[in-house]
Structure formats: C-alpha cells, structure tokens
Structure 1
C-alpha cells in the first residue's frame, strides 16, 4: 500500500528522512542488517513501513525503515520485523549449506550466544536445586521433580537461559526447514507455545551437565530468532538415551507424530543400529573393536525385534552412503522434502540406488569379514554405490546443473520462450524419478553382462559386493555419457509433450526399448543398444 506521507515529501525532505533512518539504523539495512552505502547504493534504497498499513501500521516516520531495494523486493514477510528475523535464518541456512547440510538448533544457538555453559544442579528429596553463576545470577532455584507414571523417568520443568541450552543431534538429527517461518509468525503475533520442548541432563554430582534439547527444536529456534533469551523446557534426569532415540524414531515412523523426512529416519536408524551393536558386544563381553559376529547374529539375538533390527542395518548402509564425505551427488540431492533448487530428491535416491543396489537381506559373514583386505562385502557395497553416484554427478551435474536456475517450472518456462541452457536441461530431465529409475536399472544389466562375459558366477542380489574391475567402471561411465548424448534430453519442443508431465516407469521403458512412446510417437531414432552404449 502506498504512503501518503512519503508522496507528500519533496526531494530535500525525503533525503532528510533517509539520512535520519540511516543514522538510527547505524548505517545498516533494516532487513538484511548489512551495510548501506548512501553513495554506492544511491537509487537502490527503499523506505518502507515496518508494520504494513493493512495490518494497522501508521503512516508516519516512526513506522518507516530504510532497506536495500533488493531486500525489500525479496522479503519473506510484509512485516519488516518478521522479514528481518527470517533473513537472519536465511543467512544461518546458507552458512550450513556450505558444509552440505541443513541448519539445526545448534547453529541458531551459536549465532545468538547460546550453548555456552553446563548446568550445575543437585537433586535431593524430590527437589532440583540449581544456580546460574556464569551469568552473574547466584540465586539458588528450587523446582520439584516429577516421575512419569508409565516409564518411571524423572523430570523437572524449568525456564532456562539459552546460554545453558544445547542441541542433541543424535536423538534428533532433523534440520530446520523453511517452515520455521510459520512458527516465527505465530510467536511474533503473541500466540502461545502449546507444548514445551524436551531435553535431558545427566546428574554428575556437581560437575554440571549440558542440557540437550531433543524434541521441539523448531519451537526453541523460532523463539530465539525472535529475541527470547529464556526457554521453557521439560528436562529428563539421567534418561536411557537409547530408549529416547527409539521413542523419537517411532514418533517419526510408525506413529507419524513427527514429520521426519526419510533421510532423517535413516540417520536415526543408523544410530539405533550402532546402539544394538554396542549392546551385543557388552552383553557378550566383547571388546569394542571385536566385530566377529554377523548381521544374522544380531537378528537372532534381538529376536523380539528382529524386523526392526533388520531395518536399522539397512538404514545404517543408506545413511553411510548418503553422508559419505566422498559422495559428490549429495550436493545435488534434496534431503528434506521438495526443492526448487536441486534436481534429485532423496525419495528418488531411495527408489533407485538404494533399492536396486543394496543387498536387502542380512549377511551371515562377520561384520569385520575381510575388512583389512579391503574386501568386506558391506564396505565394498557402500563404496561402490558411492562411486556410481559420483560418476552420475560428474557426467550429469557438476559444471552442468545451475543450482541458482533450479528446477521450478523449467518446462513451462521453455514453453514461454525462456532460454534454458541445454546442459542444465539435460541434467534436470535425466534426474526425473521415473527416468532415472528406468536407466539406472540398465546399469544392473551391464554389470551382470560383464560377469557373464568373463565367465564368473555371481549372486545377482549382491552385485555391488563384488569388487568392480576398472574396465567395468569404464563401461558404466560410457553408458551414462552416451545416454546423456541422446538428442531427446535437449529437445525443447518436447517440453509440452513427453516432458510436459509426470510419466510412469513403463512409459520410459517403452521409449528406450522401442524408440517410440506408448502412443506410438517416435522419440528416439532407434531403440537403445546397451552393447553399443558401453563403448567409449
């Protein structure tokens, strides 16, 4: 809504208001809080209402702020105070993404001065006594201890300064997504927090303990971003952290109480697998480095939860590949929900690489079988799937896919005449789930054919547990490269036909096998020939 006040100012008066706001804001943009240079940014600055008029803001100098024009155009909320908070989160997110991960509560705490001190407390006769001397508060606070009727866990409630709060990224490995903006707006409008966050401490006889928040990190983060310095928390005392991890896992999977992304579920499953391995070692009086037992042994020992343990084993393999520091495809994979920036979804990774190439049953060989020789079947499987992902990344995405251009409505933009670089278009189309699903299956055929031609018998469901020779890797790379060179991927006229909507797997299988779509429309000049496509 336009400002009658601003439109009534002459050039000199407008300049005076701009100078006044510049000094009031210490020479920084109200939204991004970066430097404003009145000379260098001349003509690229806005004066806007902090509280929009439509929301009851006044049209007078007390409700104006000076911003970069670009920040004002791209702001995430019409209320500039909320927009500033969301811009702070955006900067935190960008910093985390440089490490190829999403932001979490610890990132928010680090930015705002949290997570500095351990909490000193004592417990006696149903009372928790604590103090906050590191903040100059030497008072002794007392709060009652409660006992959970069903679990027998002891806990207490406290409103704690953020300097004593930490994030537990083991029990809760979720990153904080853009949906935090909804919580920020909710709390900014003074709507109450309906559920307190959960944390835990260990009573270590006066040595102090970090208060680790494992549930409700989004609520804590939103409050901290809005300037709240004390957070209400329900704190468990000396809990069984393995049980908390399992409870959180169930909340995000079978109970669906928490919207866990698949990648987060796999990460928690990996943690639960590690816990089962350690428990097996302890209860069998084995040293920590003694892994001379198999995945099958774990299932037999934890017989009452064998289905879950099998899932944890497979989750651990998926998680190790996903977060391998050598995984080049991860930078092009959206690990949490949908993205308008990245071409590959985690769901696609699960349905293709992990579904096709990870052996889905437990092994009977010891976990450390031929580990030192570099021939451990699970390690080979993980390393070689990662290598396949790297080849895909190198041939399709690295220096080809523009993350800034992204994925949003690319086919529609082509139809409207926008010039999309052909390398970007090729990468985007080949990464569509139904397309990648189809061509990755041919890689299994190429591998099987290689072993048949060399007369080597193999177990087909364990393909990636056999060490691939360099000539086989070259065949795989040649196939992907030759497939990428097919003209259909850069055919912009196809944006309104075969690429105009989501097709099923059978649609693309028909095209590759016959050269024609199921409707008998010619798409390729001829069917693909796998033997020709593996030649460099």
Structure 2
C-alpha cells in the first residue's frame, strides 16, 4: 500500500473537509486553519495499523495536535482531546450531565405507571416494563433494569451524588468497559418523573464515552408523601456516605464529604430548633438530639457539626479560590483535605459549644469573621496570588518558586501547627479553654490582627523559602512533615513568635 498521497489528492481532501463558508477546520480540535498555520494530512486509521491511503481515510489536522496523538486513530484522539479540553475548561468540576452534553445526549421525559408487581415506563418512543421488588430496610419498592441513558440524570443540586468526576478514573473505567461487561448496576432513585443516579457516576460516564445507549440500573422508587420521601433521601445519603468513607472502595473527595454532611446538618438543625425549647438551643444539645431522636452515633453527629463549621469557613474565606474541589487536583495550591488535616485544627473550634445560639457566649459568627481575617493574611504574606501550577518544562520566577515552596503539602503540614501558637500570642491565651477555642471569640481588633501579621511575615519571609534551587526543593516535595528541615534551617516556632531561636 502507498503511504503518501499526491498533491491532487490533497486538494480533494481539502475540498471535502472545507465548511460551506470556505473555512478549513482541524479535524481534531475544530480550530480554523489559517494560511500561516502548520497542518498535516493524516490517516484516520493509522497506516501502521493497516489503515490505507484512500481519501476517505485521510483528514487534515493541525501539526501541533497530530504530533501529540502518537499511533492513536484520529477519531479516538479527537474524543480524548475533547474530553481533556472539557476538564481543563471547567477546571475539573465535571458532573455526569457534562459528559452527556459532550456526547450530545439530550434528556428525554417519560411517564411511569406502577402496577401490583411491575412498573411501566414510556417516553412515547421507548417502553420498558420492570418487575418490582421491596426493600425491607428502607421500606420502599425498587427495580432492576436495562435503562436508556436518555432517561437518566445526575442526582446533584443538594442531592445524593455530589462528587465531581475524576479524569483518571473515568479514563480507566472507559477503557476497561470497552472489553469487559458492567458487573454491578449503577444506583438511582425514581422521583418526580426522573431517574436520578447517585452511585456509579464514573461507571455510567465511561459507558457513555463508549457510545453505549443503555445501562444496568437499580432504582429505588421515592414515596409520594413528603415525609417518607425525605426519610428515604436521608437514609440513602447516610448509607452512600458510609459506603464511600467507612466502607470505601472509591472514596468521596474530602470536600464532597464535608459538603454533604453539612447539608444534612442544616436540615436537621432546622428540625431541632423548630421542635425544642429556645433555652435548649445549643450545639451540645443539638448533638444529643441527633443521637437520641435521629439515632446517629455521637461520632457521626459531631462530624456533622465539624463539617458545617469547616465548610462555612472555607467558603467565606480568601483561600476559597485557591482550594480544589478534588483533593488531588494539581491546578490548585490547596485541597480541602490539607485544610482539614493541617489548618482547621489549628484555627477553628471544632467541638460542640454549650452556649445558646445567638447568645453573648455564642461566637460562631465571629469565628468565621476571624478566620476570614486570618485567611487574608495567609494569602498576602504567603504569596498565594503568585502560586502557579508546576508545568513540566516551564521555568518559575523566584517569587513563583517561593510560593510553591510555601504551599507544598509537606511545608504546610509543618508550619500550620505554628498557627495555634500565633493565635495564642495574639489573643493572650491563658486558660485551657482559650487554647481550645482559638478563633472562637469576639472579632479580633486591629492590634491582634497586627500581631498575627507580624508572625506570618516572619514565617513566610524566612530565608529558607528563598534558597537556590536544589536541596530545599527535593526535601519539600515530600508529603511528610518537615520538622527536621525547618529546625535545621532555623524556621522554628520560637523564631516565628519572637524573631529569635
């Protein structure tokens, strides 16, 4: 077989690929190819894989994309390019509906009727009948079936499926499902004439990318009564969170877990305040209510409180824009997981308070204001605005390198505990209660803020961060705490507090 095509054949390919307006677009990216752009003629099915040079197998592509595709077929590489671009454009905040739009799958409304032993679903084109089963624990009916994807949607928007889609996991499942069956169904609930998927999002998205049009689903039927529907929602929420945390296979990102628990917390808090006497309205009594009236364990109840505190703190703070939804997202300086591990325990009071809500002893609102002020100082003195993603082959300016060093995970794990002592010095902690409550106190005054600022200046202006490239960078890339390095270089807690070692 010949590999190259003639100039006359190239002209034919060009005419075939031109739009009606005369523009020529790259087959991979869709970008308009200008007179000065470098482009190439390539095989849809690679020549190395027995793709011939018939003009139907030839397309015009921009050189920069063609050189990146290796020996992938053009259609496969184009799909991968569009998927990667989607994740980059939306900064990895991808849900199932984004994958549907990418594959041009439009939702289809349907009607269902329930009979004694089965359920019938009809959208005017497709009809399905499924046998009904009953769940004795949740006390609801459910069914299994092969469901058209056009009937499905993600159960988000304060729903049961809060996770964003992880790119690497999606690609792995997509490739696996090309040659292997789907062993377990995705899980959904049928509510308001919609089938909302809340478990198996990655699996379903992988099937969609493989152009599958029907998938195996287990669907719980939400009761029509509002109180029963809410109970099913709450029961499924807790079950789903436990499955992905305590009994995890693929865990929720920490930020997702916090956000979902916070939603439940707020709902149940509303029930608590509307049914219990005003003089009992405190965090401690609410925890007891969750245990006695809602049958949560004390540990789970306290976790709900912590999640609400932490979620509110980060959302209202200056570090929010620097914090990734997905803990492993390298496009952000911080992750919720790192904040939860290192920063929050050294700034926030994460235990239930005995003070009545909105009383003179309730400092939750002022705690948020205090954390907001501290976060502004962290951004300012920690050079967060100068943090950039570490891209292979890209050289960093001195200030960018310094910012990346400061916010390496190992560095944050090491200096974040200093924050507790910095606050102790600024607020003049004396009692154990002071040391436990940290920013849970009246809104800081200018003098206290200035004291914190002076300490953070010492912390982030230390010579350690400005050393020549080499040893310091090889040591900081570790995710472990770097106590030995900090002590050896003189960046100690005593130095940060006093300027002396």
Secondary structure of the structure 1 residue equivalent to 2:382: helix
Give runs of aligned pairs for residues 143-292 of structure 1, distance below 5 A: 143-148=130-135, 151-169=138-156, 170-179=159-168, 180-187=170-177, 189-202=178-191, 208-238=192-222, 240-280=232-272, 284=275
- Give the whole-Å Cα distance in 2 for the aligned partners of 1:77 and 1:268: 43
Which position in structure 2 is the counterpart of 1:311? 303
Distance 2:414 2:495 in 1: 12
* Secondary structure class of the residue paired with 1:109: helix
| Residue 421 of structure 1, CA deviation | 0.5
- Partners of 2:459 and 2:491 within 8 A in 1: no
Query: Any idea what the Cα deviations from partners look like across 1:421-455, whole Å, max 9, x if unmatched?
Result: 011100110112232233333332232223339x9
Counterpart of 1:382 (choices 348, 368, 371) is 368
> What is the Cα-based RMSD across aligned positions, in Å?
3.5
Aligned to 2:27: 30
Q: Deviations over 1:42-92 (max 9, x none)?
A: xx2233333345556455444333222223344598233232223333333
Contact 2:24 2:33 in 1 (8 A): yes
- Separation in 2, partners of 1:225, 1:483: 48
Does the CA-based 8 Å contact 1:115-1:164 persist in structure 2? no
Aligned: 1:83 with 2:81: no
CA contact (8 A) 2:27 2:59 kept: yes
Decide which moves more: 79-88 or 13-22.
Answer: 13-22
Partner of 1:504 in structure 2?
481
1:126 aligns with 2:117: yes
Residues 138 and 235 in structure 2, CA contact (< 8 A), matched pair in contact too: no
1:332 aligns with 2:307: no
Report the Cα distance in structure 1 between the residues aligned to 2:339 and 2:363, rounded to whole angstroms. Answer: 21
TM-score in terms of structure 2 length: 0.83
Who is 1:396 aligned against?
A: 382
Q: 1:500 to 1:199 in 2, by over 3 A?
A: closer
The secondary structure found in structure 2 opposite 1:233 is: strand
* Aligned match of 1:93: 87
Q: Which residue of 2 aligns with 1:293?
A: 281
Shift of 1:349: 1.4
Q: Aligned partners of 1:210, 1:332: CA distance in 2, in Å?
A: 36
State the TM-score, normalized to the length of structure 1: 0.78
Distance 1:362 1:500, change over 3 A: closer
Contact 2:17–2:59, Cα closer than 8 Å, also in 1: yes
- Counterparts in 2 of 1:70 and 1:479: CA distance versus 1, 3 Å: farther
Distance 2:432 2:181 in 1: 65
Structure 2 runs not aligned, ≥5 long = 223-228
Helix, strand or coil: the match of 1:465?
coil
Aligned length: 482
> Relative to 1, partners in 2 of residues 1:153 and 1:344: Cα closer, same or farther, differing over 3 Å?
same
